[in-house]
Amino acid sequence: MNYKHIIFDLDGTLLDTIPDLLYNLNTTFSELGLPGKFSTAEMATFLGSGKDEQIRRALSARRLSHEKYFAKVNALLSVYYAKNTNTYTEIFPGIKETLAELKARCVKLYVATNKPDHVAKDVVRHYFGDNVFIKVRGDKGDGIIKPNPKFLNAIIKNINDPLETIMFVGDSYVDYMSAKNAGVKCAIVPHGYDQKVLNIKDKGVIFLKKVTDIISLDIN
């Protein structure tokens, strides 16, 4: 089957965003006088389910009350989130060339991420411009995020091709469940952000060593 549409996760798939996310979280905790300092390995365990869950996991990691500190951390982290999204983040090697090759093959490209929607759009614009992806979908604050099938369906509903022509590429177990719940093919790149993907036994999942390997698949 030829894949005519590819939806990409953002953090850990197209971009190595942990350095910015880690800086923002550590700075927020420090300014609030809360115990940090989180490591890169710890930060990786907080990702995948949106900013709110990231905060909850960070608070739990330091045994801090969600009720007492969530609102304070959320407010300040949102400020840093808006200011520092492109400082330390880097595009994974070969991604731009891979996206260009896919577009040359007339594959339509999209982004689906649990980043806040306005942040996601700003980050994608900064690193990739406005002409690579047809749609960028982030967390709109309505409670619908990955792996809720409604999240990917917000993109899929506007695609006039069979589900079999759509692939979702991500790096986390949440990404796997998102594709499964939406009924589309899943390709996983186990970059190490989420170790749970190594336990996926679904034979329908394509495991890629790196995103650039997608070029070798049966695509258009």
Q: Which residues are catalytic?
A: 9
Cis bond before residue 157 (omega within 30° of 0): no
* Residue found under tokens 């996983």: 188
What are the phi and psi torsion angles at 139 (to 5°)? -70, 115
